Amino acid sequence: MNFSERDQRVIWHPYTPAKGTVKPCPIKSARGSYLYDYNGQRIIDAISSWWVNTHGHGHPHIAEKVSEQIKQLDHVIFAGFTHEPAIALAERLLERLPDNQARIFYSDNGSTAVEVALKTAIQYYLNKGQKRSRIVAFEEAYHGDTFGAMSVSAHSIFTAAFTELTFEIHRIKLPANGNEQLSLDMLESFLKSGEVAAFIFEPLVLGAGGMLMYEPKALNRLIQLCKKYDTLTIADEVMTGFYRTGRFFASDYLTVKPDIFCLSKGITGGVLPLGVTSCSKDVFSAFDSDDIQKTLFHGHSYTGNPVACAAALAAMDLYDMQACAENVDRINKAHLIFKKRIEKHPLVVDARVTGTIIAIEIKTAAQTSYTNTIRETIVAFFMEKRILIRPLGNVIYVLPPYCISAADLHYIYDSIEAFCEKLLRQKDL
């Protein structure tokens, strides 16, 4: 029995139709920005394996620190116990987070980091004797797949089967493309009710919603408005954190700072799962009580796992190196040059860049959406070129590990252009 057959007998893959035609590609190893299949053929990982792998695969420094940690302390319950890697990581994250951040709560992934943030915001008000349970989010938001995270995400094919069971929230327009004032007005109309506990957002780039980008100035105004109405703000930096948008956090572009942060993905350099929710001193003070009712009753078996924390500490060592910031800058400059070239193509509706992310929206007969069927054609074309690209429908994006070479970046750009050319020729026929 070959890989495919064995896989199909026992595995259920994420976001993948069970009877789909695309067979999963078996990967044997990975190094730097390359994945290697069982024939030794390499594939360029142009999307950092779902936006997590920032320093490249198999980084020796992370591998060494993880291995040392496993031998020293693999795991310990995190209620009533603590350890050096969890404390050291919290200290280092707080050094990098805005000054208002004071406490770190660990969980397992991006969705759980969001769950913790939502529960914290709602209980914050309860602990202060107020009942506020409404959340505001962007119409195209994506915050994860657990129920709370689904509730604050866009209504989409991802959530359709569960709409009745998700909780109701208020949705506002993204403050971009002339909707800046409308977005503010919508937010204010909801804040006036006094029932809103928090506004949650992906700062500067809405990832799964289609790599939609908006300006820090517009986000500053929304956060400022929340402050006026004493409403908490939650920056979901699960995708945007760790230099993805050019600065360490996307919130580093802001002048007004959010109250709560959600981190994951790049936190361990894409090596082990880890989620973090940080909060301000003010938020924590509402829980800082010996009244058991005011406890945040949330945790996971692997909360604060020492090995994941060690991986994150090693990833932080690499983030602290000048070479990392230089690579980020290099990728951004290359993206901007390619954007100028590709945006002139007749089949490109829009090309946009923030930091190390470039997104290119392809013109198709069907609307821009995750379910746009051109997706499969794009995936097949790039797999043939030995490039891993996972478009959001008709939006092709590149979000590479920071160690990607200039030659590989240019090969990806040339392949995108070749795809557009091929599509144009087909349309001519």
Contact of 223 with 254, CB cutoff 8 Å: yes
- Joined tokens for residue 27: 């990967």
Active site residue 15: yes
**Could you say whether residue 347 binds ligand PLP (CB under 6 A)?**
no
**Which of 208/403 has CB closer to ligand PLP?**
208
SS3 per residue for 298-367: CCCCCCCCHHHHHHHHHHHHHHCCHHHHHHHHHHHHHHHHHHHHHCCCCCEEEEEEECCEEEEEECCCCC
> Which one from 65, 173, 257, 265 is the annotated catalytic residue?
265
Residue 379 carries which DSSP code?
H
Q: At what angle do helices 374-384 and 406-428 cross, to 10 degrees?
A: 130
Residue 16 carries which DSSP code?
-
Least distance CB 243 / ligand PLP (angstroms) = 15
Sheet holding 42-45, edge to edge: 27-31, 34-37, 42-45, 387-388
**Could you say whether residue 109 binds ligand PLP (CB under 6 A)?**
yes
Q: List binders of ligand PLP among 184-223 (CB under 6 A).
A: 202, 207-208
Strand 275-280 relative to strand 101-107: parallel, antiparallel, unpaired?
Answer: antiparallel
**Could you say whether residue 153 binds ligand PLP (CB under 6 A)?**
no
Count interface residues toward ligand PLP (CB under 6 A).
14
**Could you say whether residue 183 binds ligand PLP (CB under 6 A)?**
no
**Could you say whether residue 98 binds ligand PLP (CB under 6 A)?**
no
**Could you say whether residue 264 binds ligand PLP (CB under 6 A)?**
yes
Active site residue 265: yes
**Which of 117/420 has CB closer to ligand PLP?**
117
Of 24-32, 123-131, 159-167, 236-244, the segment contacting ligand PLP by CB under 6 A is: 236-244
Distance CA 426, CA 39 (A): 32
The one among 32, 85, 98, 144 contacting ligand PLP by CB under 6 A = 144
Contact of 119 with 148, CB cutoff 8 Å: yes
The one among 56, 110, 175, 401 contacting ligand PLP by CB under 6 A = 110
**Could you say whether residue 270 binds ligand PLP (CB under 6 A)?**
no
Of 26-34, 118-126, 233-241, 377-385, the segment contacting ligand PLP by CB under 6 A is: 233-241
**Which of 111/327 has CB closer to ligand PLP?**
111
Distance CA 229, CA 198 (A): 10
- Joined tokens for residue 409: 């970046």
**Could you say whether residue 143 binds ligand PLP (CB under 6 A)?**
yes
**Catalytic positions, please?**
15, 142, 236, 265
